Amino acid sequence: MLILSRLKGEKIMIGQDIVLTILDVAGDQVRIGIDAPKDISIYREEIYKAIQAENKAAVRLDGDAKSLLQKILSSQDDLGPNN
């Protein structure tokens, strides 16, 4: 992990396209401005973790739906060609 000290108004460059600007420092809070291309997703950590949890839940649901469909199809096969 790279640790940097910056003052209000100073910037940090990430690659060629991303600029972090220290907008304000008040007590234990720091306001940061982020300038990045639109195709780069930027999330607060708690939002990012919530999105990951939702995505994992959706994959589990897709797996459950696939399992249910397989059971339905196999039960129809058991009925024979004249269902």
> Is pTM beyond 0.85 here?
no
pLDDT in tens, 29-59: 999 999 999 999 999 999 999 999 988 887 7
CB atoms within 10 A of CB 5: 6
24 and 47 share one domain: no
Q: For position 59, what pLDDT does the model report?
A: 72
Same domain, 25 and 51: no
Q: Is the domain of 48 the same as that of 81?
A: yes
23 pLDDT higher than 60? yes
Containing domain of residue 72, as a range? 43-83
Q: How many domains does the chain have?
A: 2
83 and 49 fall within a common domain: yes
- Please report which residue ranges of the chain form alpha helices under DSSP H: 45-79
What is the per-residue pLDDT for 78? Answer: 64
pLDDT value at 62 more than 70: no
Burial 29-67 (b: 16+ CB within 10 A, else e): eeeeeeeeeeeeeeeeeeeeeeeeeeeeeeeeeeeeeee
pLDDT band per the 50, 70, 90 thresholds, residue 76? confident
Same domain, 32 and 49: no
